[in-house]
Structure 1
Amino acid sequence: MIATLSILLKPYRIRLLGSVMLASLTTLFHIALFATAGYLLAASALHPQSVLLLWIPIIGVRFFGMGRAALRYAERLFTHDVTFRFLKNERLEVFRTIGPRYLHLKAQYGQGAFVNAVTHDVDVLQFLIIRVITPIGASLISTLFVFLFLSHFSLTIAMTTLLLQISVGLIIPFGIAKFAKKPAQVLHATRQSFYTLLQDSLSGMSEIKAYGAQEQFLEKLDSMEDTLYDQHRKNANLDGLSLFSENILANVAMFIALIIGSGLVLHGQLLGVYLTMLVIVSLAAFEAQNGLPQAFVHFGLMKKAFQHLQAIAATPCDQGQESAPAVTTQHDSITKKPHVTIKQLSVTYKDRTKKALDTIDLDLPFGKKVAIVGETGAGKSTLISSLLAMIDHQEGSITIDDIDTSKLSPDTIRRCYSVLSQESHLFQTTVEDNLRIGEPNASQSDLNVASRQAHIDKRIDAMPEGYLTLLGTLGTSVSVGEARRLMLARTLLRPAPIFIFDEPTQGFDPVLERNFIDDLLHIAGERSLLFITHRLYRLDRMDEILVMKEGKIIESGTHQELLALRGYYAQLFDLQEQEISCTLPSW
């Protein structure tokens, strides 16, 4: 862990050094202020013949007092600047690392793990600089200077103060850290479970209300809140214990300095005017260790958060992880009308023996319209994920213009596709921002054309702010059909040669579904099309239909050919027609 953190902090080493030096100077000015003030009090008590004899300590008190305030401000500014720079880069790195593997890791760790990782776990890392590196560095430097200063007057006082400082800065923190280890683990695990339950509760609120399960979920959340409170209380108690111990030992150091110093004054080995200064310095010296015990408490939380981030980042995702492809210069030769070919493709998910895809073949020259049908779990979505380089395949190959996708970067592969899936999402932002996800550089004219093609332009014009209207819980609500048409407009904006429509009409009634599919097929135009569905509407307009079952293609052909075959496709079609006839009203 230490080696990894050293690598992460290497770009900030100059700023970290500046932060430590400023913190050290702030502490030393604090000690010097008390030392000078102590000397001034003692010297004033001796009633010097002229106030001019006190001029230097008076100036010193003012200088160190103003300097301490200025240095404290500079130290906080510098330390927080480097901390925020570090957090920004680490949060981006977390997104870069786990973002492409989100779907797989979500299934393995749960939604709460990701909410916890990108929010709390990254935020906890700020303690690394603010409460660990900077205080420890400043403590080491300040303690050295204090020891050298005190040893000039009395080596005994210097050694005693040093030993007590080591107790406060090292022995007590290690003891505190030992007791804080278990609360940190429980706190992290409970917070992750809490985020998961909260996410589920918000997402499934309609079902919770429908089944009257509000109290059940509230009780679970309340129980987790109690656990979080208990662990925070334990950490707060440890913080209080550490502060109490620090204050006790600081006062012990002061009294020991007073006793030893008094003896030195009585034996004529120390001028009496210096006694008050040494006693106060012995007490003020513990400013260097201020917060170190709490730092070890926070270090336990930070260590757990860092280990969690490392565990997620290092999780081997056989499926769902983007491998680092050996990118060649051949990707520049991909044409604007790509020809996609799948040969003997097989995919097996981790910890499963049955293949999700089994020897799949697919030929998709530019302009061809192919439908892939089958019931839920047939492997349709896995096939699309393989095409989009979201998962790896163990056998077979996928080529684009005769170039194996293993030699292409994921971004190069995905530039060939524009996807509208059943899981497409509308973000809580403006209509314009939602559409521009498909093409960030799209002009207003492009937005208008895409909206018109998707038959959503009139609805957008009727919104309060048009394309600048906020969507989602923060703004205007849209129906399921309107949301799908907005997503379709976003898909159309992407200048990709191949459309992939994955269950785009999920939740539609038959009439709306037929109209929507007609619009999709019309819009596809000359582009290639992969239409994934388990409902067999308008498939007579497809060039080829592939029927999947349990990861295999069991039938292929046109709509008429498959009906004439009287096989699995014909059974699905007949069953669907019966369902429709049962739902249609009779007059």
Structure 2
Amino acid sequence: MLRRLLAEQVRPHLASLAIALVAMIVVAAMTAATAWLLKPAIDQVFTERDPYWTMMIPLAVVIVVVIKGVATYFESTLMIGFGERVIADTQIRLYSHLIRADLAWLHDMHSGRLISSFLFDATLLREAVTKALTGMVKDTLSLIFLTGVMFSMNWQLALIVCVIFPFVGLSTRRLGRKTRKSSAKGQQETGKLTTILSETFEGARMVKAYGMEQREIERARLSVDTRLGHLMKVVRARAAASPTTEALGGIAVAVVIYIGGSSETLTLGTLTAFIYAALTAYQPLKSLATMQTAMQEGLAAADRIFTILDIKPAIEESGDAKPLQVNGGEIRLDAVSFRYASDKTALDGISLVVPPGKKAALVGASGAGKSTLLNLVPRFYDASQGSVKIDGQDVRDVTLTSLRRSVALVSQELTLFDDTIRANIAYGRPEASQAEIENAARNAAAHDFIIALPQGYDTAVGENGVKLSGGQRQRVAIARAMLRDAPILLLDEATSALDTESERLIQVALSELMRGRTTLVIAHRLSTVIDADVIFVLDHGRLVEQGSHAELLARNGAYARLYATQFAVEATA
């Protein structure tokens, strides 16, 4: 994991890191130089009162601190910028991967888990790369230079100090293992908490309607407390690293003071400089111990991020994919079967043809496979067996961009973005003019209600269109499909949220939109597809009937029973 982290996050920034490394070396050297200057300062300046050294030592101190200050500035700015770049690159990479991921995989993953990785794991990754990896380089260099100063003064005392290093390493390694395990559990719980927040804020109306506020508060409290428990283990591990190292270092310094104080060969300057170097050396040693825990947190986060990035989408373009050429828009399914990951069969050996420029309807009971079949056309899913073709071209052999540019979709699952009405209508064609946007809105019976709003087309719709009524949201979505002006139109319960008057207006607009376009419609109300050129009746993933409305009624089969049942329900309503 560490090797991959270095390869994917550090290697692209080697140039700036090389400059930062030079700055780190300078900082470490100047730290050691400060300790070394203490010996002549005490022996030659304070003890012997040498005028040469009285002039040179202060000058050397000024030079050292200025050089160290400049190097520290460059090292800090470069590393902070590098850390922020790591977060940005990781988040962009994650988002790009997720937005291109298969719908099936996205539906299996809760958005809260993904948001947790996007926000929190990326931040922990920065801590690992900047504070841990680069901090380790800086502190290790300081430790090496300071150790060199100690050996140059008295190698016997230096060995005593160095004896403590392995014990510090063993201690930090044990604490690091605990940190990584607790951090992984803490971030898992962060994902659960983000899920709870996402669900309850989005479903606040339902929570209040059923009086479940207290239950949701308890659920959130349990998640917060569980997360806190894991994070406190990380805090305790981090907190233990510093005093453990400090205690071991204190013992070593105490031994040095005792032996050095008993020696008759060591000058005061040498002993003072050595003790200062030893004390200074334990600061980077202590930092290294603390950074080990940060490193383990970052590696745990990297593991979660790379797990997501390693998932390969099943829906990919073939190497020789060509742009789709639509010459009429015939949709043909040949012996198509589809199974979900759970091995549930949604479609079983379906063969059908939607003639170019005609309107076809998919009808059947809930769970018959209508939406699944519709999703195969723009390749949201791939058929498990068989083929889906548009004008004789297998959708798996054409580029995804050209395929989806040829399709306009209006779904019962309305999606509006927290932007203006204008931006939502123009989502599929951001370059569209105001006149084109307004024309699409008029055709969708949306223009009148839009201009009645305070800011008209510049009115913000709120999160998922919460500021609009259900019917208004549906009409904005239909206007978006109209503006798309694609040769193939997919309507999945496109008028389900409309009142009778709005539905009448929309049906007139849709009839105009469907003229000359191949249209595949899923409709719960059979009255809206009576005029379809062909109706396909699905039952438990099988195609059981097909024909016009009149032909299917005359056949007195599955469609006739559906129609009679719905007509009876509507008559008694």
TM-score of Structure 1 vs Structure 2, range by shorter chain: over 0.9
Residue from 534, 537, 542 that aligns with 1:552: 542
> Using the alignment, how far apart are the partners of 2:341 and 2:143 within structure 1?
55
- Residues 1:63 and 1:357: Cα distance change in structure 2 (over 3 Å): same
Tell me the CA shift for residue 284 of structure 1.
0.9
> Using the alignment, how far apart are the partners of 2:367 and 2:424 within structure 1?
30
> Structure 1 vs Structure 2: percent identity of aligned residues?
23
Equivalent AA in structure 2 for residue 324 of structure 1: E
Equivalent AA in structure 1 for residue 70 of structure 2: A
Tell me the CA shift for residue 215 of structure 1.
0.4
Tell me the CA shift for residue 333 of structure 1.
6.1
> Using the alignment, how far apart are the partners of 1:259 and 1:408 within structure 2?
81
Q: Aligned pair 1:335/2:297, yes or no?
A: no
Residue from 411, 415, 418 that aligns with 1:425: 415
SS at match of 2:351: strand
How do residues 135-154 of structure 1 correspond to structure 2 at under 5 angstroms? Answer: 135-154=135-154
Tell me the CA shift for residue 465 of structure 1.
2.9
- Whether the aligned pair in 2 keeps the contact of 1:546 and 1:553 (CA below 8 Å) is yes
Tell me the CA shift for residue 374 of structure 1.
1.7
TM-score (norm. length: structure 1): 0.90
How do residues 59-70 of structure 1 correspond to structure 2 at under 5 angstroms? Answer: 59-70=59-70
- Whether the aligned pair in 2 keeps the contact of 1:346 and 1:358 (CA below 8 Å) is yes
Q: Aligned pair 1:258/2:254, yes or no?
A: no
Aligned equivalent of 1:23: 24
> Using the alignment, how far apart are the partners of 1:252 and 1:562 within structure 2?
93
Equivalent AA in structure 2 for residue 158 of structure 1: A
Aligned equivalent of 1:506: 496
> Using the alignment, how far apart are the partners of 2:42 and 2:431 within structure 1?
71
- Whether the aligned pair in 2 keeps the contact of 1:161 and 1:282 (CA below 8 Å) is yes
Tell me the CA shift for residue 177 of structure 1.
1.2
SS at match of 1:463: coil
The farther-off stretch of 158-167 and 230-239 is: 158-167
Residue from 473, 479, 483 that aligns with 1:483: 473
> Using the alignment, how far apart are the partners of 1:517 and 1:408 within structure 2?
32
Tell me the CA shift for residue 290 of structure 1.
4.2
- Residues 1:17 and 1:166: Cα distance change in structure 2 (over 3 Å): farther
Aligned equivalent of 1:32: 33
- Whether the aligned pair in 1 keeps the contact of 2:330 and 2:518 (CA below 8 Å) is no
- Residues 1:493 and 1:182: Cα distance change in structure 2 (over 3 Å): same
Per-residue CA distance 1:523-571 (angstroms, 9 max, x = gap): 2332221111222132122111111111111111111111222222122
The farther-off stretch of 430-439 and 380-389 is: 430-439
> Using the alignment, how far apart are the partners of 2:39 and 2:454 within structure 1?
70
Number of aligned positions between the proteins: 572
Equivalent AA in structure 2 for residue 378 of structure 1: A
Aligned equivalent of 2:81: 81
- Whether the aligned pair in 1 keeps the contact of 2:417 and 2:461 (CA below 8 Å) is yes
Aligned equivalent of 1:273: 269
Tell me the CA shift for residue 263 of structure 1.
4.6
Q: Aligned pair 1:325/2:325, yes or no?
A: no
Aligned equivalent of 1:393: 383
Q: Aligned pair 1:299/2:295, yes or no?
A: yes
> Using the alignment, how far apart are the partners of 1:557 and 1:415 within structure 2?
29
Tell me the CA shift for residue 8 of structure 1.
0.8
Tell me the CA shift for residue 34 of structure 1.
4.8
> Using the alignment, how far apart are the partners of 1:298 and 1:377 within structure 2?
49
Per-residue CA distance 1:496-520 (angstroms, 9 max, x = gap): 2111111222343445434333322
Q: Aligned pair 1:540/2:533, yes or no?
A: no
- Residues 1:541 and 1:174: Cα distance change in structure 2 (over 3 Å): same
Superposed CA RMSD in Å reads 2.5
Aligned equivalent of 2:2: 2
> Using the alignment, how far apart are the partners of 1:176 and 1:336 within structure 2?
67
- Residues 1:230 and 1:28: Cα distance change in structure 2 (over 3 Å): farther
- Residues 1:6 and 1:273: Cα distance change in structure 2 (over 3 Å): closer
SS at match of 2:527: coil
Q: Stretches of 4+ moved more than 6 A in 1?
A: none
How do residues 25-424 of structure 1 correspond to structure 2 at under 5 angstroms? Answer: 25-36=26-37, 40=41, 43-46=44-47, 48=49, 50=51, 53-101=53-101, 103-168=103-168, 170-264=169-263, 266-267=264-265, 270-315=266-311, 321-328=313-320, 331-332=322-323, 334-335=325-326, 337-352=328-343, 354-424=344-414
- Whether the aligned pair in 2 keeps the contact of 1:322 and 1:389 (CA below 8 Å) is no
SS at match of 1:545: strand
> Using the alignment, how far apart are the partners of 2:102 and 2:285 within structure 1?
42
Structure 1 residue runs without a partner (length 5+)? none
- Residues 1:22 and 1:119: Cα distance change in structure 2 (over 3 Å): same
- Residues 1:35 and 1:486: Cα distance change in structure 2 (over 3 Å): farther
Per-residue CA distance 1:300-327 (angstroms, 9 max, x = gap): 32222222233334457xxxx4343324
Structure 2 residue runs without a partner (length 5+)? none
Tell me the CA shift for residue 47 of structure 1.
6.3
The farther-off stretch of 217-226 and 94-103 is: 94-103
SS at match of 1:356: strand
Per-residue CA distance 1:353-382 (angstroms, 9 max, x = gap): x42111122323431111111222111111
- Whether the aligned pair in 1 keeps the contact of 2:364 and 2:370 (CA below 8 Å) is yes
> Using the alignment, how far apart are the partners of 2:212 and 2:324 within structure 1?
57
Per-residue CA distance 1:457-485 (angstroms, 9 max, x = gap): 23332333333332215998111111111
> Using the alignment, how far apart are the partners of 1:460 and 1:68 within structure 2?
64
Per-residue CA distance 1:143-171 (angstroms, 9 max, x = gap): 22222222111112333333434544x32
Per-residue CA distance 1:194-236 (angstroms, 9 max, x = gap): 1122222122222211111110110110111112222222222
Tell me the CA shift for residue 495 of structure 1.
3.9
Tell me the CA shift for residue 66 of structure 1.
3.3
Equivalent AA in structure 2 for residue 127 of structure 1: E
TM-score (norm. length: structure 2): 0.92
- Whether the aligned pair in 2 keeps the contact of 1:379 and 1:550 (CA below 8 Å) is yes
Per-residue CA distance 1:401-437 (angstroms, 9 max, x = gap): 3222222232232121111111231111222332332
- Whether the aligned pair in 2 keeps the contact of 1:427 and 1:434 (CA below 8 Å) is yes
Tell me the CA shift for residue 183 of structure 1.
1.9
SS at match of 1:393: coil
> Using the alignment, how far apart are the partners of 1:164 and 1:399 within structure 2?
72
SS at match of 1:541: coil
- Whether the aligned pair in 2 keeps the contact of 1:177 and 1:296 (CA below 8 Å) is yes
